Structure 1
Amino acid sequence: MKTKPYRFIDKKLVFLLLLLFIQKALSQTITGQVTDSQTNEPLPFVNVFISNTTKGTQTDIKGNFTLKLQTSGYSKVVASMVGYKSFEQEFVLRPDEVRRLTIKLQTDTKFLNEVKISGKRDKQWKRLYKDFEREFLGRTKNARNSKILNPFQIDINRKKQVLTANALQAIEIENKALGYGISYQLESFQVTGTSYEFSGKTLFKLLPTTDDLQTQTWDNNRNQTYRGSLRHFLKAVANRKSHQEGFRVYFEKDSTLKISRNRYFNNNALIEINPDTLAQLNSVLQRVTLPARRYEIHYLNRRDPQNWYFDLDREISWIEIKAPILAFSYNGILENSYQIETIGSMSKRRVADLLPDDYQPTDSLLSTPTENAGLIPNFQKQEKLLLNIAQNGYTLGDTVQYEVDVIDATTYHPVGQTVVYLTICSQNQLIEQQKLWVAQGKFKGKWVIPDTLKEGDYQLIVHNSWSKNFDEHFWGRKNIHIISNLSPKNQSDDSIQTAFFPESGTFIAGLSNRVGFTSFTKSGHPVSIKGCVLTPNADTLAVFQSNEEGLGSFYITPPSEQSLKAVLNNGTIVPFPQAVPKGYVMQAEVLKDTASITIKLINNLLHTEWKPMRLLLHLRGQILYEAIVTPKRNLTFAKIPREDLEGTGVMQILLLDALNHPIANRAFYQSASSSDEDEKSTVDIRLFEAELYAGKLSSELLKDEKTISKYTDIQLLTHAVRSYSLEIPPSFDYETGMIVKGKVIQPNGKPVTNTSIIGFINSDSTQLNFQALTDAKGAFSSPPLQWFGKADIVIQVQSEKVKAAVISLDTEPSYIPKWLWIPATPLNNPQKDSLLSRLQERIKLKTTTGAKTLERDFRRNYAKADTTLHIDAATMKVLPFANILESGGEGLTLKSEGAYFGTTRLALLVDGLPTTLESLKSLRGFEIEAIDIIKSSKEAAINVLLRPQSSFFEDQNLKRFVVPGLVK
């Protein structure tokens, strides 16, 4: 015989279940009569309804009405009729209660005095109506499938960037996404650039259904709309199931701060909390309360195409409670919507996403989401290194003033402290590399052009170690032309370079392809060209002509299995892309329609080859739109509303196969949205160019609002665009300073292994020291160190077993970026004349003055010596140090413990480094260049300056180097 196990019974849970059962079993009734407040005459055909529900009716001929409800609790009864002010009354309806109301409606004088609204509106109203519709209905899929049936009843105004609206009659809405007709009595509406606020009373009516499929579609859409909504969250909290329902809630560690999020989730200081434990349930009043706080809410069961965090793709919302407590029903219905402010995913839901208060979901959650749902652990942010120079033409001796910006390519925020390399090179030679210490993402510096450079083109390139994770085509680059000859020669080889770019990345035979092309000289100057595309039989398939910027595009349908060639008007034959037999052409129409992006997917495949594909649109790695596309014919359309693409900059459309391999791609520029025709869109030239390889914008062409879209489109069509990937790249970390690297070997060439070395660094900015250990190859490296300007670095090997160690320092650049072709701005004649004039003056000045720059002598760490003994005489070269000093140093005496000037003991130095008298006694005159004697009481010292051939330091396993440090 089987026995049933004992079970613990939660009495509170039983009470709630019984309460819910009673609420469903019992019915509540509201009855009453509606009359005119002045005449007391009954009013027939008055709409009486429970606000925000489908429960409504009309009064009969005697003004009477009856409403039967299946749920008790908080209710708001509304009575409305054209020509009268709306009536509303709030109360808590008890289970099985019958409540009678007497409603008296007052005449609305505002309506009686209002002029009849015409069926047409002017252009300004239509422009404002688009903004109103977007803010009122929302920016979701449901909003796109909803329509206001009586728009001309709405008065809209904008003053000082504040959009307001009012309507005397209820706004009638047809929501074909959810299957509701909505009558919305607008009470207030106000939208600014940073917030929105509107309120009203709503009556829902079920739209008639045509078939079971539509009924099922509406049911699914309603369930999806409910999931993740504010009501869903509040109801889950009331039932203590927020975690199981897919919600995660966080507090900020510092609640005094405004909502200003780092766009990387893992970089925020957040504390996860359980809101169920904070909620207070009142079973008598059937209400729940939450304490006033700012909550960050993650809904893990659904992705948000617009990622609020770059490393987390779930729906993210913030709610801020403005009252001491937030009160709501067990069903998640707010008692007062003014008590709360929403930001994020929930805020995008407006009237088109409203569900009746009496709606109950019909689906069920399949499983509890995992803790790491939506996290993108390997998301790799990128950086933009922007380089700007004052001009592009210089002469020898000129100073190149430059600016460097290091910004997060996703957020456009400055990157913190980092070491950036500025490399100056020609096509075949490294000229110089500076290491810049960039704080707060910005650096201003200069480079003096050496007199030894030859005339020609040079390139300035900026990068850091972090940027080596990504394509160096998108590092900061600028070309400069240096004139070093008073009779400059023309370029001997400056032939035209022409390149062709199929719109979607691949040239498909038998399909109409848009092809962009560029024409530049080898030195980077744009050239206007004309030409045609010919078949092997010399038939002309297309003709083309570039603009003055060297850019253009044309359409062509290539035949299958034929090699085409492009011929310029001067007879030059240019290679043309080979067409592949099958595939997809993706065309993006971004110029004609300002409201949406139209994408055409054209293919020449058999229907058996049509497979589901992923269509993705992202802005700097942030996914804005995603859909699965399965072609059903050779032409497939996709339309993306621009209002859904929040953000400004270069956006990319990707068509991917089932394995996420790219099939086609296209880029376009989304300018800043402007709701006022007087406001002009602007393009940040530096940020735009940083998204392209070899892109160059003309500021003159960007001044005309009408040409911005066309100009940026042809740039993006004809240039490679920065790509973003979720793949893990090689690990290159930020550099926090300079690393001193070197090697120690014995005179016979064997490495000095596992031996301690000491380094001393002396610069104008600081004095540092470090210790390191040699490895199996004798190599050593210091920790990251910071010094600015040139430094004197002394390395000493700490070993008595090793004699005359050979110490070398690695002072060559660890990485030299490639010279890459980029367009250049040619010098005009006035610029050339100015440079030649400046060069001539500099040559004259150099001839007359012959001035030379004195390098700092790190051997002398003092301002001036009182006496200097120069070792020139042949007899002095063979004398030991002690004899030389006693013969030339008046008042100096040598004792066993040291050297003295009177009673003052002197510090003993060799080339500025501390030493002992015992070591100095081993020196002879042929090793000594001079002896400085400093008699000051503060820094009394003897400093022996060695000749280059001296082996003094080698005998002590010590060597000195002069190394450039960071530029600040």
Structure 2
Amino acid sequence: MKYRLFFPVLALFVLVCALGYKADDDPFAALLKKLESYLEKYPQEKVHIHLDKPYYAIGDDIWVKAYVMNAQTSAPSTISSAIYIELINEKDSIKQQIKLPVISGLSWGDFKLPDSLNEGNYRIRAYTQWMKNAGSDFFFDKTIKIGNSWSNSVFTSTNYAFSKQDADEKVNANIKFTDKEGKPYSANSVEYQVRLNFRDIAKGKATTNEQGEIDISFINKQPELYKSGNIIATLTLPDKKKIIKSIPVKATSNNVDVQFFPESGNMVEGLPNKIGIKAVNSSGLGEDISGVIVDAEGLEINKFATQHLGMGTLVINPQPGKLYYAKVKFKDGSEAKVNLPRAMPSGYIITVNSTGDNITAKILMTADLVGKGEVKLLTQHNGNVLFLSKSSSQKQIITTNIPKKDLPAGII
């Protein structure tokens, strides 16, 4: 009799434990707990540097003040006791490095720019040993200009003209040399050297004309590898003093790079997809474009035009199995064909908009995902969970409002 009662009670106990375990065994909650544990065990540091000037001359002192912060709490970090600050030239070579003590998340110091430095663009890079665990992407990195006081007596202005020579790119550069009052350096000897991606492409000699100009040309035979560089021009003054000027070559063609970015990372079939547009010219500046979206059969789907600095948006509802491309028109009248990303047959789309006091997030899903369980929306900032919502997937559209007052400033 006792055994007959024992087994039903045991079965009931196992069933209750199993149900309780299933309710608590939420893989999403377990993932968040692991993330929280990881960030507690391996907190991330951030470094910010204040400089005393935006640009410097050879022989100057660079004064710095450093802030080492905990990325999660934005409070002064207590992890590192030292910070490393480096001066790096255009060839990615470290010219100077200093190590400064960190006290309560703060540090300060200076380093002198030696006379042996060449003028040009340099980078100030700062990090702690702890930050190296996460890689150099998290280091502080800022570009500064370092000039030469002798070079400040010579000023240059350069105009470029680009053309094609078979598959190669040809560059014609007109360089004008003047003093600070705009008077040209005429009949002066110039030696020049052209470097693209730190590789010597061309060199030669020239003499400035009455307007202080020289014309040089060079060919970029590997435009897929070499995108930019500089011209090192050495001007000989009447007193035989040589002045070296570094003239940037930002591009070797007029090509415009056009890219399309689905708001949710991928285009999804059967749903309205918001697509970001970005067009950048060969100098790295935004360039406005216009055009139409066309499917593989040539049917026009939508028109688009960038609104500001080569940026804009469009909406497209890709149909199953269809491929799409953009017929892009540039400001010089030329056109190009750019393929849009291939749409996925199943997935989710998230659109985010600012509406009054809230951030409105709208989740759209393909029909095959309806009724397949809860849809969770997580908002994070510096690893901290700010907002978490759970919604039923019984409908294809889920809308969630996040109060702005609950969100910090910054990128979420």
Shared fold, TM over 0.5: yes
Which residue number corresponds to residue 642 of structure 1?
403
User: After superposition, what is the alpha-carbon deviation per residue over 1:904-927, rounded to whole angstroms, capped at 9, x for unaligned?
Assistant: xxxxxxxxxxxxxxxxxxxxxxxx
- Please report how far the alpha carbon of residue 464 of structure 1 lies from its aligned counterpart in structure 2 after TM superposition: 1.5
Structure 1, unaligned runs of 5 or more: 3-300, 304-311, 314-373, 653-968
Structure 2, unaligned runs of 5 or more: 3-23, 27-31, 159-247
Map 1:237-636 to 2 at 5 A. Answer: 376-379=36-39, 380-416=42-78, 417-430=80-93, 431-470=95-134, 472-484=136-148, 485=151, 486-488=154-156, 490=158, 491-494=248-251, 499-518=259-278, 526-527=285-286, 529-532=288-291, 534-535=293-294, 537=298, 539=300, 541-547=302-308, 550=309, 552-557=311-316, 559=318, 560-564=322-326, 566-570=328-332, 571=334, 573=336, 578-582=341-345, 583-589=347-353, 591-594=354-357, 596-607=358-369, 610-633=372-395, 635-636=396-397
User: After superposition, what is the alpha-carbon deviation per residue over 1:684-733, rounded to whole angstroms, capped at 9, x for unaligned?
Assistant: xxxxxxxxxxxxxxxxxxxxxxxxxxxxxxxxxxxxxxxxxxxxxxxxxx
Q: Give percent identity, aligned residues only.
A: 21
Cα distance in structure 2, aligned partners of 1:394 and 1:538: 57
Cα distance in structure 1, aligned partners of 2:120 and 2:369: 57
Cα distance in structure 1, aligned partners of 2:273 and 2:35: 39
Give, as a single letter, the amino acid of the residue that structure 1 aligns with 2:267.
Answer: F
Map 1:775-790 to 2 at 5 A. Answer: none
Cα distance in structure 2, aligned partners of 1:557 and 1:649: 32
8 Å CA contact 2:121, 2:143 repeated in 1: yes
Q: Which has the higher contact order (CA 8 A, sep 6+)?
A: 2
Distance 1:575 1:375, change over 3 A: closer
| Length-normalised TM-score, structure 1 | 0.26
Cα distance in structure 2, aligned partners of 1:402 and 1:562: 52
- Please report how far the alpha carbon of residue 601 of structure 1 lies from its aligned counterpart in structure 2 after TM superposition: 1.2
User: After superposition, what is the alpha-carbon deviation per residue over 1:571-623, rounded to whole angstroms, capped at 9, x for unaligned?
Assistant: 4758665133232210012x2231x2221112334257845433211232222
8 Å CA contact 1:392, 1:479 repeated in 2: no
Which structure has the bigger radius of gyration? 1
Distance 1:640 1:609, change over 3 A: closer
Cα distance in structure 2, aligned partners of 1:631 and 1:519: 37
Distance 1:622 1:492, change over 3 A: closer
User: After superposition, what is the alpha-carbon deviation per residue over 1:288-340, rounded to whole angstroms, capped at 9, x for unaligned?
Assistant: xxxxxxxxxxxxx9x9xxxxxxxx97xxxxxxxxxxxxxxxxxxxxxxxxxxx
- Please report how far the alpha carbon of residue 509 of structure 1 lies from its aligned counterpart in structure 2 after TM superposition: 4.3
Instruction: Please give the secondary structure, in 2, of the residue aligned with 1:473.
Output: helix
Cα distance in structure 1, aligned partners of 2:103 and 2:367: 54
Instruction: Please give the secondary structure, in 1, of the residue aligned with 2:49.
Output: strand
Distance 1:609 1:631, change over 3 A: closer
User: After superposition, what is the alpha-carbon deviation per residue over 1:829-866, rounded to whole angstroms, capped at 9, x for unaligned?
Assistant: xxxxxxxxxxxxxxxxxxxxxxxxxxxxxxxxxxxxxx
Cα distance in structure 1, aligned partners of 2:35 and 2:302: 50
8 Å CA contact 1:598, 1:637 repeated in 2: no
- Please report how far the alpha carbon of residue 386 of structure 1 lies from its aligned counterpart in structure 2 after TM superposition: 1.3
Which one has a larger percent strand, Structure 1 or Structure 2?
A: 2
Cα distance in structure 2, aligned partners of 1:446 and 1:523: 34
Instruction: Please give the secondary structure, in 1, of the residue aligned with 2:137.
Output: helix
Instruction: Please give the secondary structure, in 1, of the residue aligned with 2:38.
Output: coil
Distance 1:528 1:449, change over 3 A: farther
Map 1:715-754 to 2 at 5 A. Answer: none
Give, as a single letter, the amino acid of the residue that structure 1 aligns with 2:386.
Answer: L
Cα distance in structure 2, aligned partners of 1:540 and 1:614: 33
Map 1:929-940 to 2 at 5 A. Answer: none
Q: How many residues are paired up?
A: 282
Instruction: Please give the secondary structure, in 2, of the residue aligned with 1:597.
Output: strand
Distance 1:429 1:572, change over 3 A: farther
Cα distance in structure 2, aligned partners of 1:393 and 1:480: 6
- Please report how far the alpha carbon of residue 408 of structure 1 lies from its aligned counterpart in structure 2 after TM superposition: 0.6
Cα distance in structure 2, aligned partners of 1:499 and 1:546: 15
Cα distance in structure 2, aligned partners of 1:425 and 1:375: 35
